[in-house]
Amino acid sequence: MHRTTIGDFELTVFSDGTYFLDGGTFFGVIPKVMWEKKMRADEKNRVRTGLNSLLVRTGERNVLIETGIGNKLSERMTKFYGQPAELLDHMHAAGVAPDDIDIVINTHLHFDHCGWNTVLDTERVVATFPRAKYFVQEGEWQHARRQFARDRISYISENYDPLIETGQMELLRGSREIVPGISVQVFPGHTAHMQAVIIESGARKACYISDLIPTRAHIDITWGMAFDLFPVETIESKKKYYSESIPQKWLTVFTHDPGQPWAYVERDAQGQLVAQPLPEI
């Protein structure tokens, strides 16, 4: 298990398992001869991809960032991606029950980021975390509802619409502090309204950067995913992120890294970006 502290906050990574994505789409315009040095592809050209959720215990609140793929994928989608559905088991093994979660933050509404928001309870879809207040950007939800041909496969409305109907999910407009020390900030590129989650305690900061930098292999500013709707903005958002995160030594948390869920992204003596691992405790 990956656990660390940021000031008074305890951070624990819980995985929903791993799934497979086409290596070409995962690395966008980067040629395979370059990306395969960092991630090995299988015989179908797929790479194994992580599903890292982050639990932040502030002492007052338990905040869960991102909820993986969940267990409601259709048979067809399961054929493509698999459906590991391990998140609740891992949380349970660590003594964390769904009732313990006070806040859920989704960085965006792609199915691999909000799948455990809800579960199927006989005929009805209900909140997995019954006491929690959920947060996402309103613009992201508006985009999801419009069901564009380009990316409608990425949006499964039962992951969020039932929560909006009951008022359990709040739609945000831009940056906001969610609880003291935990705030969201929009970094456009992957989608127009994807939000990162910034965690600050005791003068230290961590950031769940989501699909802006999905793994350690994507730290270079030009290494974006083919899924990014606005790849030029992804580059600008990465520059903006590093302009704060590098000098202030933020811990970066990666959604889709199957090995190391977090690292300090720094520049080496040659000015190259490098991901320095965090010593495990």
Residues that bind Zn ion (CB under 5 A): 110, 211
Which CB sits closer to Zn ion, 110 or 133?
A: 110
181 or 189: whose CB is closer to Zn ion? 189
- Regarding beta strands 103-105 and 62-65, do their DSSP bridges make them parallel or antiparallel, or are they unpaired? parallel
In the complex with Zn ion, the residue whose CB is nearer, 55 or 109, is: 109
Q: What angle do CA 223, 227, 232 make, to 5 degrees?
A: 55
Residue ranges of alpha helices (H) inside 63-200 are: 75-81, 87-93, 111-114, 138-146, 161-165
Q: How far is the CB of 157 from Zn ion (least distance, A)?
A: 16
Q: CB nearer to Zn ion: give 96 or 156.
A: 156
Strands 9-22 and 46-57: antiparallel
Task: For residue 54, give the nearest of 238, 257, 255, 277 by alpha carbon.
Answer: 255
Local structure of 271: helix, strand or coil: coil
Q: Shortest Cβ distance from residue 190 to Zn ion (Å)?
A: 6
Token pair 């890292």 is found at 52
Q: For Zn ion, which is the closer residue by CB, 86 or 211?
A: 211
Torsion sign (Cα): 70, 157, 47, 220: negative
Cβ 250 vs Cβ 206: under 8 Å: yes
Residue 211 Cβ, how far from Zn ion at the closest point, in Å?
4
Cβ 42 to Zn ion, closest distance in Å?
Answer: 22
Counting Cα atoms < 13 Å in the Cβ hemisphere of 136 gives: 29
Q: How far is the CB of 108 from Zn ion (least distance, A)?
A: 6
CB of 95 to Zn ion, least distance (A): 30
Which residue's CB is nearer to Zn ion, number 179 or number 226? 226
